[in-house]
Chains A and B, each alone.
Chain A
Amino acid sequence: QKEVEQNSGPLSVPEGAIASLNCTYSDRGSQSFFWYRQYSGKSPELIMSIYSNGDKEDGRFTAQLNKASQYVSLLIRDSQPSDSATYLCAVTGTASKLTFGTGTRLQVTL
């Protein structure tokens, strides 16, 4: 079982819609959770961090964490073509090391 799992996609949503990206993790002791956006040929960019159960909103992005279900999600409201990218979920385990999922590719269509 992979430590951090994501659906590889592509997830296709129309412009203006809500994109919902999901991630599950296996280590119940994980404390910190992150979402990165990676455009093709570029480096990952941190877009959201969440440390406690519930929702955290930042502009059009909302991160949701449910530690009991070991589940993290990212909602993107009013999706734009510029949101088309691969979204990486990352979870801290031991010794300040991040474990990454393989990413979900999001396509926002016109």
Chain B
Amino acid sequence: DAGITQSPRHKVTETGTPVTLRCHQTENHRYMYWYRQDPGHGLRLIHYSYGVKDTDKGEVSDGYSVSRSKTEDFLLTLESATSSQTSVYFCATSPTGNEQYFGPGTRLTVT
């Protein structure tokens, strides 16, 4: 267990509002990832980080931005939430870039 927490765990927001999700880890893992999970699509990578201030896009990055100012925190921001961003969001961390360990998830509903 990688000691990963996500906040908030549940959120309901309105279309057009900005939303920030936080991932916090206590394992000093170098790599951090944000995924979304939707029925029929499985887990899809949004953005990832391979070090402090080093981030890159995943396969579904449009409408999302990230920041990592310190090792333990990785923030995901929905710049202007849309209904298509209703999903379950998972953060994951990895010490090596291979095996990944997941946080408990955030259920986001955009109305």
Contacts and interface: CB of A to CB of B under 8 A. Distances in A.
Given A88-B43, A101-B42, A96 B31 contact: yes
A78 interface: no
Contacts of A85: none
A34 B102 contact: no
Contacts of B33: 98
A25 interface: no
A49 interface: yes
A91 B103 CA distance: 19
Contacts, number: 48
Interface residues of B, number: 24
B97 A34 contact: no
Interface of B: 31, 33, 40-45, 48, 50, 56, 58, 90, 94, 96-105
- Listed from nearest, the 9 A-B pairs whose CB atoms lie closest are A96-B97, A102-B42, A43-B102, A100-B43, A32-B98, A100-B42, A44-B102, A43-B105, A43-B104
Given A36-B102, A95-B56, A98-B100, 6 more contacts: A32-B98, A34-B99, A44-B90, A96-B94, A96-B96, A102-B41
